[in-house]
Structure 1
Amino acid sequence: MPRFTMKAPVLLAIILLTLCTDTTIAQNGFITRSGHQFSLHNKPYYYIGTNYWYGGLLALQKNGKERLKRELDFLESQGVNNLRVLVGTEGKGLVNGVERVKPAFQYEQGKFNMEILDGLDYLLYEMGKRKMYAVLFLSNNWEWSGGFLQYLNWNRVISDSTMQHKLNWNDLREYTSQFYACTPCQQDYENQLRLVLNHVNKYTKHKYIDEPSIMAWELANEPRPMLTTAVDKYRQWTASVARLIKSIDRNHLVTLGTEGMMGTDESADLFKEVHQPEEVDYLTIHIWPKNWGWFKDTSIAGSLPELIAKTQQYIRQHEAIAYKLDKPLVVEEFGLPRDQHSFDPASSAHSRERLYDVVFAEWARSREQGGVIAGCNFWAFAGTARPVPGQIFWKEGDDLMGDPPQEEQGLNSVFDTDRLTWNIIRSYTLIQNKL
């Protein structure tokens, strides 16, 4: 057979065509926004997802990769294709009187355990195989992962003893609100942010800013001004960080991570204003009937009609704001304890299932109309983990599950054995791609 020699111009043209084709495929794999809708592969993207905040830590545990793959396979089988995940923990030791998530990513000020990102790399790699997308939150308003309190402590705004002992609600608000006026605290946050965004995934070889399995960056979990006196600084910080992320990463969406009006000084105007900047791609709300006093004690069933009515009203109030801003809305946290506040995975969760059905129905209505309610991430997937019998709170060495360390283990978790709950979820995921 005669040897075939390709001429240089032809070879160069083929190489350029290949590179352009690869780039186009990668770009089409990102979730984008057009007005009030998300888009994927030039089609509207409406999704049912879950909170899997500990997913990036599983690969670091003994047999954790096997657990992670089993749980992702389970979620895929249920049609759940969007996961909200914590990037990493700041600091170590007690905070606000409770254990925090371990191991830490930024374990000391300016010092990082890069192995934590290896675990997140593996999660994103496995998610990519299953065509799942991640919303990654970069820090936390609350103590269970260090978050803003830790930045304040590192910069001597609050002392070690103050941070470690249990704070009352007024003190917690007072201290946390100071983050928005603490320039060195914000610089520490930004240093971590830049490190994460420019990190290269060891499995996919993509920088995170080029990682197709990431849908969005979230400034923090439930960032609140906490006090009215901090509102102006809060407004400035959220806008500036959104701009910063967009200046580094043009591929991914950005959102704040708010709870809605309940987390923005109970003000519809403030909620709208902080989501107004063009760098903020979509709105989020959370719904926590127990934390917000929509029922008392263990009387979930007795208060269920009122609770459901308030849930629908809360969603629709924010839906109207999203229409005014012409941006999508995601109900990215919502949950209830099991019946009678049981932590036993074998106990019933009828009230929770009713809440899920109502929230998903609001999403389905919006999807049917091509509306603004684009996604739901229920709280929270616990997978194959189980609470330790007779032990209320998490201890180091226990399985990670949907309930963070400061909450009773099993309180709001959805286990892989919650058949009736999964039947409801599956009834909606079966329609999510039928447009």
Structure 2
Amino acid sequence: METWVGLDFVLSEAKKHKIRLILSLSNNWDAYGGKAQYVKWGKAGGLNITSDDDFFSDPTLRNYFKAHVQKVLTRVNTITNVTYKDDPTIFAWELMNEPRCLSDPSGDKLQVWIQEMAMYVKSIDPLHMLEIGSEGFYGPSSPGRLQFNPNTFSQQVGTDFIRNHRALGIDFASVHIYADTWVSQSITDDHITFVKSWTNAHIEDAENALGMPVLFAEFGVSSRDSGFNTSFRDNLVATVYKPVLESSKRGGGGGGALIWQLFPEGTEYMDDGYAVVLSKAPSTATIMSTQSKRLDMFSSSCSWRWGCKKRKDDEDLLDHDEL
């Protein structure tokens, strides 16, 4: 019960500060329970299941998850008295953080789950947007795009960026960027090269193949990586931001990019290596603030699929080549 009240408080505080939230409904990884917890419950209930990936296919486990979804979406906030599914503070729902199904590289099992759960979420809450939470790996449906994957393993994890996002009920595409996990944990120029191609490819596919915006919902670099320094992180952030801003300027599909992860002072003990404390990283803070202001400016004059109004003369001065 305390967990629910804690989430009520988060939503209440976010509303006060005019912050919109994306709430993830599950996790591929063990943190906070994840799909493995559903499997544990299933085994305890006598189900004959052998893999965490059975979360996606076992009818009982799917019903467990649906019960959880219904519980979350229909909860009434004890502070604001607003039902979650009616709360505009929630920007969107996320089906799962970084879903993978290694037992089925074809992607069929995960695709069926995405479609079923997307329709279920929408049956309860047709108003909020919904995204998958995907990392963005290309799969069998788009062999011509496999070249943009960071490695061969990524095309064997049961995900398929373009196919997954064609599921009914999915409103915008989600992509993550972790070159230091996928390419190499030693900082090299290859990271920047990969990030450029990865970001541009997904903006292009969001616009041309999917017809929807794309949000780079997580990206970052760990301070624990060999060769890490703040200058490299700033370069990485700018590398992600630039094509997103270029897309926004023309009313394209680049919806935004969210760095993983911001920490307030005093909470560094929870740092997983990716923490950014803005008061201690002024150069990174400046890049983020500048990007936010520019995106706000262009979003007021540009809209997805409708193009842009004529820019004012003073807007021409706000170039971003220095990013």
Matched with 1:359 is: 240
Instruction: For residue 226 of structure 1, report the CA deviation from its aligned partner.
Output: 2.0
Letter of the structure 2 residue corresponding to residue 266 of structure 1: Q
Q: List runs of 5+ in structure 1 lacking aligned partners.
A: 1-113, 160-173, 389-400, 402-408
Partner secondary structure for residue 176 of structure 2: strand
Matched with 1:377 is: 258
Q: List runs of 5+ in structure 2 lacking aligned partners.
A: 141-153, 299-323
Matched with 1:136 is: 23
Partner secondary structure for residue 197 of structure 2: helix
Q: Within the alignment, does 1:321 sit opposite 2:189 as a pair?
A: no
CA gap 1:364/1:238 in 2 versus in 1, 3 angstroms: same
User: Where do 1:13-28 residues align within 5 Å?
Assistant: none
Deviations 1:66-104 (A, max 9, x none): xxxxxxxxxxxxxxxxxxxxxxxxxxxxxxxxxxxxxxx
Query: Cα RMSD between the aligned structures?
Result: 2.5
1:434 aligned to which of 290, 297, 300: 297
Contact 1:177 1:230 in 2 (8 A): no
Equivalent-residue separation in structure 1 for 2:178 and 2:138 (angstroms): 10
Deviations 1:276-306 (A, max 9, x none): 12310011110111211x234xx31xx12x2
Partner secondary structure for residue 377 of structure 1: strand
Equivalent-residue separation in structure 2 for 1:315 and 1:372 (angstroms): 11
Deviations 1:124-177 (A, max 9, x none): 112112221100001100011211111111111899xxxxxxxxxxxxxx8332
Q: Give the total of aligned pairs.
A: 279
Name whichever of 188-197 and 122-131 sits farther off: 122-131
Q: Within the alignment, does 1:283 sit opposite 2:173 as a pair?
A: yes
Partner secondary structure for residue 290 of structure 1: helix
- Length-normalised TM-score, structure 2: 0.80
Percent identical residues:
28
Instruction: For residue 340 of structure 1, report the CA deviation from its aligned partner.
Output: 5.4
**Structure showing greater relative contact order (alpha-carbon pairs closer than 8 Å, 6 or more residues apart):** 1
Equivalent-residue separation in structure 1 for 2:23 and 2:102 (angstroms): 22
Matched with 2:222 is: 337
Instruction: For residue 248 of structure 1, report the CA deviation from its aligned partner.
Output: 0.4
Contact 1:336 1:352 in 2 (8 A): yes
Q: Within the alignment, does 1:420 sit opposite 2:304 as a pair?
A: no
CA gap 1:124/1:290 in 2 versus in 1, 3 angstroms: same
Letter of the structure 2 residue corresponding to residue 197 of structure 1: L
Equivalent-residue separation in structure 1 for 2:213 and 2:223 (angstroms): 30
Partner secondary structure for residue 130 of structure 2: strand
Equivalent-residue separation in structure 2 for 1:262 and 1:176 (angstroms): 22
CA gap 1:178/1:360 in 2 versus in 1, 3 angstroms: same
Contact 1:221 1:257 in 2 (8 A): yes
CA gap 1:230/1:387 in 2 versus in 1, 3 angstroms: same
Matched with 2:11 is: 124
Matched with 2:43 is: 156
CA gap 1:248/1:182 in 2 versus in 1, 3 angstroms: same
User: Where do 1:89-128 residues align within 5 Å?
Assistant: 114-128=1-15
Instruction: For residue 260 of structure 1, report the CA deviation from its aligned partner.
Output: 0.4
Partner secondary structure for residue 332 of structure 1: strand
CA gap 1:341/1:175 in 2 versus in 1, 3 angstroms: farther
Partner secondary structure for residue 179 of structure 2: coil
CA gap 1:139/1:230 in 2 versus in 1, 3 angstroms: farther
Matched with 2:317 is: none
Letter of the structure 1 residue corresponding to residue 277 of structure 2: F
Equivalent-residue separation in structure 1 for 2:202 and 2:76 (angstroms): 37
Instruction: For residue 231 of structure 1, report the CA deviation from its aligned partner.
Output: 2.3
Higher-Rg member (1/2): 1
Matched with 1:147 is: 34
Equivalent-residue separation in structure 1 for 2:63 and 2:45 (angstroms): 17
Equivalent-residue separation in structure 1 for 2:245 and 2:62 (angstroms): 39
Letter of the structure 1 residue corresponding to residue 133 of structure 2: G
1:411 aligned to which of 273, 280, 289: 273
Equivalent-residue separation in structure 1 for 2:139 and 2:163 (angstroms): 13
Instruction: For residue 412 of structure 1, report the CA deviation from its aligned partner.
Output: 0.7
Letter of the structure 2 residue corresponding to residue 325 of structure 1: L
Equivalent-residue separation in structure 2 for 1:154 and 1:423 (angstroms): 46
Contact 2:224 2:273 in 1 (8 A): no
1:295 aligned to which of 161, 184, 191: 184
Equivalent-residue separation in structure 2 for 1:387 and 1:257 (angstroms): 26
